[in-house]
Structure 1
Amino acid sequence: MSTSPVGALLVSLQLTDSAFPSGFYTLSHGLEGYVQDRAIEPHTMPVLLHDLLRHSIGPSDATALALAHRAALAGDWERVIGVDRRLLATKLNREIRVAALRTGHQLLETAGAALGSVVLEKYAELVAAKRAPGLQAVAAAVTYAGAGIPADQAVASDLFAFAASFTGAALRLRLTDHRHAQVVLRAAAPVIEEVTTAALTRGLADLGGCTPMADAMSGLHERAEARLFTS
């Protein structure tokens, strides 16, 4: 695997491409719950995205990615396992927890076949042995580390993938159109940069977001009679 700047960029682009079969296409990240409860409008959807980046994904998944990336590069697999387990413990909603595990395992399998690396193989062994849960953020961290992608680029890339997935869900839920979805994504760029910087400075004790309303909407969505998305 090339570790040149161009090679790292190409891997990053491949992993964040909506065509990459990570399972993100099946997720609304709680957005469908808001729609079902009539608690969101097209003009407030970008605000929700920013709030989730700052208070949910940033302190939890992005922070775990930064910590696991650092540990994987150092070959500290007990630390990687600790981050993985800590992140799992912070995911209180069942459907969010299941989604993170399913997409993590799918990412691990696909990246192993498409990219391959020694660190990726090691992590896959830990997940197969059930020593590590295999959450998406940690699987992404190990994948990026194995490809020689720097931590800041890895965190920003994964946050962008989340934002793209969220706006894609908004498009399918008719909260936006294709053109405005791009406006929303571009407007999220400063927030992604802010959240990336914060995630890179946190320690394991600081891992975990706080979004009570999003958690409540996720709980409602889990019990909905009809659902377009799995989360």
Structure 2
Amino acid sequence: MSTPDTRSLLVSLQLSDSAFPSGFYTMSHGLEGYSQARLVRQGGVEGLLRGLLLHSVGPGDATALARAHEAAAVGDWRRVRLVDQLLHASKLNAEMRRASVRSGHQLTDIAREAIGGPALEEWARSVKAKETPGCQPVATAVAYAAAGVGTVQAVASDMSAFAVSFLGAALRLRLSDHRHVQVVLHALGPVIAAAAADAVARDLEDMGGSVPLADVMSAQHERAEARLFAS
């Protein structure tokens, strides 16, 4: 028989699995824009991902996840919606906002069916009523809270899922191979751990990344004539 800690670990593995149909497979997280502009090659994927984890995902999405998780765990839905609205407003590019909302809605629907519970029902009601956008990190926070996964584990798991998704896009864009992806993922483990710890400690008022070039690449990607990824 599994213990509560084991069950929460299994849920975090399920939600962060690349096979979980949250929509991450449709995103390159800006990598396709860099590739189209010929600003990244195989040797530069690790550095780009490191920068995004430290200066975009950690201060932005991961911080929102941490604060929303804490609020959802105690049933403070006003606070959960506030975090979601602030995160949505902090995303400068339309395609990034759309991708996050689309993925968040997909994750909410699947988590309601797979995990269930009153927390996910209340969150789904708020999203359906358009009281809040429903961004992916906040939807993930609610799902983790509903399953009893702790804040630190939730943040680290979602940042790992981002890294795996980014590297999966690198594979499809032929910027890496399967062996190199595993080397990079292992090398960035300490970066994910550090960025996750910073996100858990960061106040909501300090949420928000600073990645000007990534924003420019996303803006260009929105208008690209041909695109493999939604972001």
User: Is 1:129 paired with 2:139?
Assistant: no
Cα deviation 1:155-207 (Å, max 9, x = unaligned): 00000000000000000001110111111111110000000110011111101
Alpha-carbon deviation of 1:89?
0.5
Distance (Å, rounded) in 2 between the aligned partners of 1:3 and 1:213: 46
1:103 aligns to what? 103
Distance (Å, rounded) in 2 between the aligned partners of 1:42 and 1:194: 25
Normalised TM-score (structure 2): 0.98
Normalised TM-score (structure 1): 0.98
1:195 aligns to what? 195
Distance (Å, rounded) in 2 between the aligned partners of 1:182 and 1:143: 27
Distance (Å, rounded) in 2 between the aligned partners of 1:223 and 1:22: 24
1:224 aligns to what? 224
Alpha-carbon deviation of 1:3?
7.3
Distance (Å, rounded) in 1 between the aligned partners of 2:185 and 2:117: 31
2:113 aligns to what? 113
How many corresponding residue pairs?
A: 230
Cα deviation 1:110-169 (Å, max 9, x = unaligned): 111111121111111111111111000000000000000000000000000000000000
Q: 1:146-157 alignment to 2 at 5 Å?
A: 146-157=146-157
Unaligned 5+ runs, structure 1: none
1:29 partner letter: H
Cα deviation 1:80-124 (Å, max 9, x = unaligned): 010000000101100000000000000000111111121111111
9-18 or 31-40: bigger deviation? 9-18
1:98 partner letter: R
2:117 partner letter: S
Distance (Å, rounded) in 2 between the aligned partners of 1:117 and 1:207: 29
1:22 aligns to what? 22
Task: Give aligned-pair identity as a percent.
Answer: 60
User: Is 1:52 paired with 2:52?
Assistant: yes
| Partner SS state of residue 43, structure 2 | coil
Distance (Å, rounded) in 1 between the aligned partners of 2:69 and 2:47: 29
Distance (Å, rounded) in 2 between the aligned partners of 1:137 and 1:16: 12
2:202 partner letter: R
1:94 aligns to what? 94
Cα deviation 1:17-73 (Å, max 9, x = unaligned): 111100000000000000000001111110000100010011110000000000011
Moved runs in structure 1, 4+ residues, more than 2 A?
A: none
